[in-house]
Structure 1
Amino acid sequence: MRHVTMEKLFVHPIVQKYVGRSGMAHAIAVAEKAVDIAIKKNVNPDLAAKAGLLHDIGHYKWYQNGEWNFELYKENDIHAIKGAERAHKLLVRCEENLQDAKEVALAILLHTDSYLPEGELQLRPLQQIVAEADTADEEVGGAHHYRQIDYDIALKRIRDLDAKIESLMLANENDEQKN
């Protein structure tokens, strides 16, 4: 059973504030892509969706005069560190399973290597999925952070994603019971 739905996260004031600032349209697209990739890789689609939605929740510092400053972001990026902490705190407060909250936070922490020293990390499947989904939705110059989405359309897409996740998890439970 899911402890926290995508809709519960989406309507939360913290998500509206911080994810809204960094691009809600991008966040929803990444969540949707993450679920599709998770299905192919046999990874928990619920955790993939949550990490996808929240992956940029740490971007709040890169605004100047109400405008997204892509150059400032590229030069000083640590959004994944702040985002992992903020997402973990939010999920725990929403009563998410503690291990799941940790997995989502780690996927957010490692969805980008822009703040890490040169070298390669061995990412786990959920972490790879979020990074792949984010990259698939990126646009030149950070334009993906500027895309707008109407609240009602966003909420419908979130509800559709919740329904898809519920259906996938129910099918998985039925498969497990048969075996």
Structure 2
Amino acid sequence: MKLPRVTLVSLLTDSIALKHLRVAGFRHAVVAAEYAYDLAKERNVCTDLATKAALLHDIGHTSWEKHGKWDFESYDYFDIHPIKGAERAHELLTLKGEHLGKAREIALAILFHSGSSPINTNLKLTPLQELVMEADDIDELDDGEHHNIEISLEDALDRLEILDNKVARHLDDCNKECWDCRKGQV
């Protein structure tokens, strides 16, 4: 019996994601997921894994404000959001019923998504990990300003519903017989 696919909308509407993605900005999360979808199709990487990892890539963010302004220097030097994010995303995905292999791959893509992170030094990233890093970087603005451009939760959910439909159609056409796609779920 196949389990229903965990959707992007179901992830964003969870209290864990709502709490933590709000800090990094819903717009940035959605835009990164949209870029990840396009890159995944282009590179023959699973669109389901790519969009989920890109949506959740900043779920580990905390506020780095000092005197009401973003303290980019401290953030850049001391931040561990990829580590916190990988853990939070894995917990969220497994609670939602995601395949454990998919949850692991998504969490690892989140762990390695930040090029400024010291944990990325001298590592050979997988295509999914490279893709998530690139989807994040495409939307990046100086001094973290991409996190400050806001859209409403309703707009974010509307865009994710469209993206969920694209991913579902792409998975229906997928010829892979692995857990990367929903055809391999038990």
User: What is the TM-score with the length of structure 2 in the denominator?
Assistant: 0.87
Q: Name the % identity.
A: 45
Q: What pairs up with 1:154-169 in 2 under 5 angstroms?
A: 154-169=156-171
Deviations 1:30-77 (A, max 9, x none): 001001000011011011000000001111153456754322211202
Gaps (5+ residues) in structure 1?
A: 175-179
Note if contact 1:51-1:108 (Cα within 8 Å) is conserved in structure 2: yes
In terms of fraction of residues, the more helix-rich structure is 1
* Cα deviation code 1:75-106 (max 9, x no counterpart): 20211011001100110111100000000000
Q: For residue 102 of structure 1, what is the aligned residue in structure 2?
A: 104
Residue identity in the other structure for 2:124: Q
Give the Å deviation of 1:3. 2.9
Structure 2 equivalent of residue 146 of structure 1: 148
CA contact (8 A) 1:22 1:57 kept: yes
Please give the alpha-carbon distance, in whole angstroms, between the structure 2 residues aligned to 1:158 and 1:65.
Answer: 34
Aligned position for 1:115: 117
Letter in 1 for 2:126: R
Indicate the residue corresponding to 1:177 in structure 2.
none
* Gaps in structure 2 of 5+ consecutive residues: 177-186
Distance 1:65 1:160, change over 3 A: farther
SS in 2 for 1:59: coil
Judged with a 3 Å threshold, the aligned counterparts in structure 2 of structure 1 residues 68 and 93 are, in CA distance, closer, same or farther, namely farther
Match 1:48 to one of 33, 47, 50: 50
Separation in 2 of the partners of 1:97 and 1:126?
Answer: 17
Whole-Å Cα distance in 2 between the matches of residues 117 and 55 of structure 1? 15
